[in-house]
Amino acid sequence: SAVISQKPSRDICQRGTSLTIQCQVDSQVTMMFWYRQQPGQSLTLIATANQGSEATYESGFVIDKFPISRPNLTFSTLTVSNMSPEDSSIYLCSVGRQGNLQEQYFGPGTRLTVT
């Protein structure tokens, strides 16, 4: 499986500010995804990030709040904009396995606390 890294691993931010989370993969992948995991909860898909096209957002998530970039096949960023304490969560990127896109592998996550 691909090796996935995320930066930062954790951060504490003030409300009203924005944070950009980076996801780096050690091999080229077609599909990348961003998930949110609120404290003690399950994973919820924010959006699918596709290289060469705009991200596809799930219901309840909008581009103005969670802009996503996908400049190439190994890298993506998720920005959490105008943060509030309700944005405190773990943000995870995942990648689809090449040749078997249904398999997904997750990065270590970014733990965000908004004060």
Partner 1 sequence: GENVEQHPSTLSVQEGDSAVIKCTYSDSASNYFPWYKQELGKGPQLIIDIRSNVGEKKDQRIAVTLNKTAKHFSLHITETQPEDSAVYFCAASMAAGNKLTFGGGTRVLVKP
Distance between CA atoms of 44 and 14, rounded to whole angstroms? 24
Under the binding rule (CB under 8 A), the answer on residue 105 touching partner 1 is: yes
Under the binding rule (CB under 8 A), the answer on residue 31 touching partner 1 is: yes
For residue 27, the Cα-to-chain-centroid distance in whole angstroms is 17
User: Cβ(18)–Cβ(78) under 8 Å?
Assistant: no
* Site size with partner 1, rule: CB under 8 A: 24
Closest separation in Å from C-beta 38 to partner 1: 12
Under the binding rule (CB under 8 A), the answer on residue 58 touching partner 1 is: yes
User: Cβ(46)–Cβ(66) under 8 Å?
Assistant: yes
Under the binding rule (CB under 8 A), the answer on residue 8 touching partner 1 is: no
- Binding partner 1 (rule: CB under 8 A), the pick from 80, 92, 95, 114 is 92
Q: Which of 74, 65, 68, 66 is nearest to 53 (CA)?
A: 68
Site residues (vs partner 1, CB under 8 A): 1, 4, 30-31, 33, 41-45, 48, 58, 92, 96, 100-109
